Structure 1
Amino acid sequence: MVESGAGCAVPVAQCPECGGSVGAVVEDARHGQRRLVAIARAAGSVADAASLSVTLDVVAREVVQAEQIAAVQILRVEGGSMRVVGKAGFTGAEDFTERFEECRRLGARMMFVEAFATRRRIVVAHRKAAVLADPRWAPLHAIMGAPAWDSFAAVPLVVRGRAVGVLNAFYEPGEIPGPAALEFLEAMADQAATAVDSADLLARSRHDAQLAERARLARELHDSVVQQVFSMRMQAKALRAQVEPGRTSSPERVRAVADELLDLAQNALADLRGLVVALHPVELLENGLAGAVRQHAHSVQTASGLRVDVEVDDRPPELPTELQEDLYRIVQEALHNVVKHAGASRARVRIGTDGPRDGDHVLVEVSDDGIGMDAGARRADALGLVSMRERAQRWGGLMEIGNEGRGCRVRVRVPAARAEGGR
């Protein structure tokens, strides 16, 4: 016996309102609760995305945990090709795209391709047996046959009226998705589509920023260096005219033209050096990340009076130049914020490794003994924080910022495998 909401006792076997099993009603309610929790977690992951693949792996895992689903794939479609950008329940699927293309060349019918093309969900009962019996699917038999599944559902990822991918759900044997399950899949597909769209927008904004930076550098080259080199050319012609055979010129006149030519050359060289530093800090190229950070810390200390201590592990990690520059810029921005906002007398920069498996992450920390950071200050400095976070995320890393004791700490962790292998 169980008690109903009104306080009356009813047999466990039957509900007086719907005539169904009370146990089934309770289980449906719990199932619905799991779906809501999964949608909320997926939405949180999309809102706080570290990278597209990490975010979509989270979405795929939430689907598997909330439903009777053996495996999930989230595919991204770009330029007519599909690739796996999120998965759960599959192993050994790194070459899925190549195997998928081979199946397509063999003429296999791709239900998820049809779901993407029509922008409509597709459900196929007992799909696994048909796939494993079809020789056109042979390149994917090992991958598709590994999880224990039977029926299949494909839901397109649609955002702002365009399809950007598809979510494939492989249901456990005996499970065929009903209307509620399909609505849940569509909600999760919406989260995945939002993540893909956000990644596209971020990539475009970075591209636009790169174009704007190139235009700025071109203007600076034209307005400074090009003009100075042009003037140097004119002065060199004038100097040659002064020393032509048969031409009588005073030493003072020749010296004046040569001095002006020297000044122009020195100015052009200074401008070029400034542009080079803007592109890649010279000290970073010459001394590596640790040396560049120490030199910058000394400059900050000299200019502001803030004491900056730099600590580097005995064996600092070897990193690609591009990653070193991103970490250097993060340190620059963090120290700039300390000087500008913290009211601190001392800051500490640490560079090293971190993680349970003998340093499986590269770690950079900047901390201070200032007034700490409140929510208002965090919003006021949002642009700098966004730039720092994006530099960490493009390497699959994370940036954390918050108060620690007295003062604030910025902490960046980048997976060592990503650091060694590049972006």
Structure 2
Amino acid sequence: MLQRSPDGRPPSMSRLEPSVGTARTRLRPMSADGARRASLTSDREQLQRVSAIARTAANIASRASLESMLSVMANEIQETDGIVGTQIILVTAGEKKLRMMGSAGFTRHPEFFDTLVECRQRGAPLATYAVLDTGMQAVYADRKAEMLGDSRWAPMHAYISEIEWKDFIATPFGSPEGIGGVINCYISPHAEVGSALCRFLEAMAEQAALAVDYHQLMERDRSRVRRDEQDRIARDLHDAVIQNMFAININANVIESLIRSSGSPPEAASKARDIQHLATTVQNDLRAIIRQLRPSVVAELGFAEAVDSFCAATSRRFGVPVSVVLDVVHRVDPAMADDCYYVVVEAVHNAVKHSGASRIDVFVGSHPSGALSATVSDDGIGMAAQSSQAGYGMASMRHRLAQWSGVFEVRARLPSGTVVTAHFMSPAPIETRSAR
């Protein structure tokens, strides 16, 4: 995660060059008195730090959100001797926009980043950006005094004066997802910055990177589960509810014809028409819901690409050559393109499943008026032999064409086979313009 120095040692153990302000980015030399104190407490501190890392690792799997993970981590770091303030900041690659994901030691400051940006605009050098650019941990000796003595940091003076601190350590981390961040630690004036503390913060930075990776993985899993569930609902609506509404519409049309031929009162025929209209309205509403749950392949790929991709996939799956000629150069209505695509899909499926064809040819063309034409032909057994098996599919295609004042034709192909032709004429469905 962290870049190493040319000599192979971790950056906290390397010679760090000055890069921000006038402070040197280096490790503070430890005094003799400090060394004696360190020898007396090193065992306790080591146990404390190892425990913090272990607790943080356990929390990664138990927290629902990335913010809660990193907030817990900030509090774990804060429990370390000598650290009086902790910030965990995330930045997305390319954006350079900072987000506070965890903080301890400071009071909540909603305008923190606005104030930080103001300081940057005044020319103040930000350690957070510096270590993100280098990818290496940096220690800033006497950072508080430096900032308080620099007028460019004036907007932040009140914030940094909330706690007693002296030195500052910035430790970057990154993830394969392109999300990086920095752990900023404010060190007590009574504490020494040693290599053990720096290594501890590097270890916590690796835990932060792990938390980001884990969160991204979980989000992808949740997103996939949501998409799968939406696809299932959309499929159920299309395969069951919409088909039942289609059947209701057809039966209402038959009832209206029977009423008219039997000489029944006009009110009865009117009620049958009302049922047809209601069924059509419900169908359109359900289709709109399906498009929201599962955007059509036409919306995702574009009309021509969707037809080409479907035909290629069908050819691979069933081993039947499907040739495609696309002449779609004019703008077409998205809803019309959607219906035309599904007519092509249904016609090709019928040819593959029912005709025994050894070859299928597909042509789709657009017209300056906005109309669309599609032709699907095969060299199979012919329409008479397969019509009884493809009854519903034919009815579904006719219904899609009828909404666009379209023309649907099925004829024999010589010497054998079937030709299905669909012409979508109207710029909008004549019965359902208001619904769409």
AA at the equivalent of 2:86: V
**Equivalent of 1:40, from 33, 41, 54?**
54
Find 1:136's aligned residue among 142, 152, 162. 152
- The equivalent of 2:9 in structure 1 is none
Take 1:90 and 1:157, find their aligned partners in 2: how far apart are those partners? 22
Once the two structures are superposed, residues 381-414 of structure 1 have per-residue CA deviations (whole angstroms, 9 ceiling, x without a partner) of: xxxxxxxxxxxxxxxxxxxxxxxxxxxxxxxxxx
Q: Give 1:123 shift.
A: 1.3
Instruction: Give 1:226-375 correspondences, 5 Å limit.
Output: 226-243=242-259, 248-249=261-262
Deviation at 1:90, TM superposition (A): 0.8
- Percent same amino acid at aligned positions? 35
1:58 Cα deviation after fit: 2.5
Aligned residues: 253
Q: How far does residue 182 in structure 1 lie from its aligned partner after superposition?
A: 0.7
Aligned to 1:52: 66
Evaluate the alpha carbon distance shift between residue 233 and residue 106 of structure 1 in structure 2; reply closer, same or farther with a 3 A threshold.
Answer: farther
Shift of 1:162: 4.9
User: Does the aligned pair in 1 maintain the 2:90–2:179 contact within 8 Å?
Assistant: no
> 1:167 Cα deviation (Å)?
0.3
Give the secondary structure class of the aligned counterpart of 2:262.
coil
Amino acid at match of 2:203: A
The AA in structure 2 aligned to 1:195 is: A
Could you tell me how far 1:104 is from its partner in structure 2? 3.0
Alpha-carbon distance change, 234 to 55 in structure 1, aligned in 2, over 3 angstroms: same
SS at match of 2:225: helix
Change (3 A) 1:95 1:22: closer
- Write the distance in 1 (CA, Å) between the matches of 2:167 and 2:36: 27
CA distance in structure 2 between the aligned counterparts of 1:106 and 1:23, rounded to whole angstroms: 41
Give, as a single letter, the amino acid of the residue that structure 2 aligns with 1:117.
Answer: D
Higher RCO (C-alpha 8 Å, min separation 6) = 2
Instruction: Look up the equivalent residue of 1:124 and give its one-letter code.
Output: Y
Q: Give the Å deviation of 1:51.
A: 3.7
Quick check: 1:86 aligned with 2:102? yes
CA contact (8 A) 2:57 2:207 kept: yes
Q: Name stretches of at least 5 consecutive residues in structure 1 with no aligned partner.
A: 1-19, 277-423
Classify 1:106/1:227 alpha carbon distance in 2 versus 1 (closer, same or farther; 3 Å).
Answer: farther
Q: Which residue does 1:383 correspond to in 2?
A: none
Alpha-carbon distance between aligned partners in 2 of 1:138 and 1:225, rounded to the nearest angstrom: 66
What is the alpha-carbon distance in structure 2 between the residues aligned to residue 177 and residue 86 of structure 1?
22
Cα deviations across residues 60-116 of structure 1 (Å, max 9, x unaligned)?
222222231110000122343111111111113233233233333333211111212
Per-residue deviation at 1:255?
A: 9.1
Name 2:194's counterpart in structure 1. Answer: 178
Q: 2: distance between equivalents of 1:156 and 1:125?
A: 18
The corresponding residue for 2:314 is: none
Q: Secondary structure at the match of 2:107?
A: coil
Partner residue in 2 for 1:214: 230
CA contact (8 A) 2:252 2:275 kept: no
State the alpha-carbon separation in 2 of the partners of residues 25 and 71 from structure 1.
24
Q: Work out the CA distance in 1 between the residues paired with 2:195 and 2:51.
A: 18
- Distance, in Å, in 2 between the alignment partners of 1:161 and 1:250 is 72
The alpha-carbon distance between structure 1 residues 34 and 248, as it changes in their structure 2 partners (threshold 3 A), is: closer
Residue 169 of structure 1 and its aligned partner are, at CA, apart by 0.6
Asked which structure has the greater CA Rg, the reply is 2
Question: Against the structure 1 CA distance between its residues 107 and 218, is the aligned structure 2 distance closer, same or farther, given a 3 Å change threshold?
Answer: farther
After TM superposition, the score normalised by the length of structure 1 is 0.51
Tell me, what secondary structure is at the counterpart of 2:44? helix
Q: Could you list the per-position Cα deviations for residues 297-350 of structure 1 after superposition, in whole angstroms to 9, with x for gaps in the alignment?
A: xxxxxxxxxxxxxxxxxxxxxxxxxxxxxxxxxxxxxxxxxxxxxxxxxxxxxx
Cα displacement (A) at 1:121? 1.0
Q: TM-score, normalised by structure 2?
A: 0.50
From 211, 224, 227, give the equivalent of 1:195: 211
